Amino acid sequence: MTQNKILCFGELFVDMFADRDPSATNQKFFQHPGGSPAIVAFAAAGYGANAYFIGKLSDDHFAKYLTDYMLANNVKMDYAINSKEHRCTISFVRHDTAGEREFEIYRDSHKAADLAFSVDEWQEEWFTDAKFLHCGSNCQLSLSSHQATEAGAKMARGNNTLVSYDPNIRPAMWAEQNLLRQRVHEIFPYADLVKMSDDEAEFLFPGKSEEVIAQELFAMSCQIMLITRGGKGASAYHPQHPPMHLPGIKVEVVDTTGAGDNFISAFMSRILHLGLLSQDTSIRDFSVEQLEALIKFANAAATMSVTARGGMDSSPSLEQVEQVL
């Protein structure tokens, strides 16, 4: 039997992480793969899912490094497109003493590979046996890639593939904050599963309670809304159940990079691992017990990911998460 796929669309680029001492005069930087949807794909493969990355890469040694790394960690790269005309985005990442991140992103908006995917590059056959298409807002920075994100979400829905959307707000990347809000809100009507941090929810829906936000999303296409709160845990909103709130798990935080990506990746992967989707059931049909088990697993995965450095390198295995549970 063919294993159901999780498709992850968006950016895959190079993160240059500073060494551990934030006060060092001459910091060293180390190359790691980065990009939110790519981390989701990487983590999903680690949880045993059939994960595919979709996006555009440059055609140089950076692209080879990224492709080889993903393949070595069981992420399928069949749907990644290389371009000699575009360049790899590079993000320099530093951490303060509390483990919080500071980014300096070097990206030419006209030449960046991760912003160059176009509407006509989507392939209908990619959605065969696909249960989820996951995407985020970081590649919506250019109009063409925003339109490609919308086109992919439309194609997913036309092929009975659930759309997972994590706005993953990075205001510093956008010159116009209202444009960021507008483009995110243009994708919400296609999303079956929405994951946001509490800060992102406030940014996107100023002054509104989570309960009101959930009802607005449910009135569109959303079937589950997930809210993460860093070390304070997470919440799940479902149209047929009361809101569910889980506390955080106390750990020593080393690096928060990829925590949210691990959360949504674990949530989707666990759904497939437990066989909760069929032709007759969708995520709207989950019981309270099933939803609680899923958010507990996702919460544990995200918590474990912050105990090590790096977005992908810190992603725990399925066995490691199950040990915590």
pLDDT level of residue 249 (50, 70, 90 thresholds): confident
Q: Report the distance separating Cα 14 and Cα 33, nearest Å.
A: 5
Q: Which domain holds residue 127?
A: 40-80+118-324
Q: Report the distance separating Cα 119 and Cα 136, nearest Å.
A: 16
- Comparing 254 with 83, which gets the higher pLDDT? 83
**Rounded mean pLDDT of the chain?**
92
- 88-138, pLDDT tens digit by residue? 999 887 776 665 667 788 888 789 999 999 999 999 999 999 999 999 999
- Count of structural domains, the chain: 1
User: What's 227's DSSP letter?
Assistant: E
- Comparing 8 with 251, which gets the higher pLDDT? 8
Residues 190 and 221: beta-carbon distance below 8 Å: yes
Give the SS3 label for residue 201: helix
Q: What is the pLDDT of residue 23?
A: 65
272 domain-assigned: yes
- 12-23, pLDDT tens digit by residue? 999 888 876 666
Scan for tokens 């296609």, then name that residue.
Answer: 190
163 domain-assigned: yes
- 180-193, pLDDT tens digit by residue? 999 999 999 999 99
CATH number for the domain harbouring residue 276: 3.40.1190.20
Residue 60: both structure tokens together: 């140089």
How many alpha carbons fall within 13 Å on the CB side of residue 9?
34
Give the SS3 label for residue 101: strand
How many alpha carbons fall within 13 Å on the CB side of residue 248?
16
Q: What is the pLDDT of residue 1?
A: 37
165 domain-assigned: yes
- Mean pLDDT of all residues in 126-152: 96
Beta strand 224-228 pairing with 193-197? parallel
**35 has pLDDT over 70:** yes
- 211-234, pLDDT tens digit by residue? 999 999 999 999 999 999 988 999
4 domain-assigned: no
Residues 6 and 132: beta-carbon distance below 8 Å: yes
Residues 136 and 53: beta-carbon distance below 8 Å: no
216 domain-assigned: yes
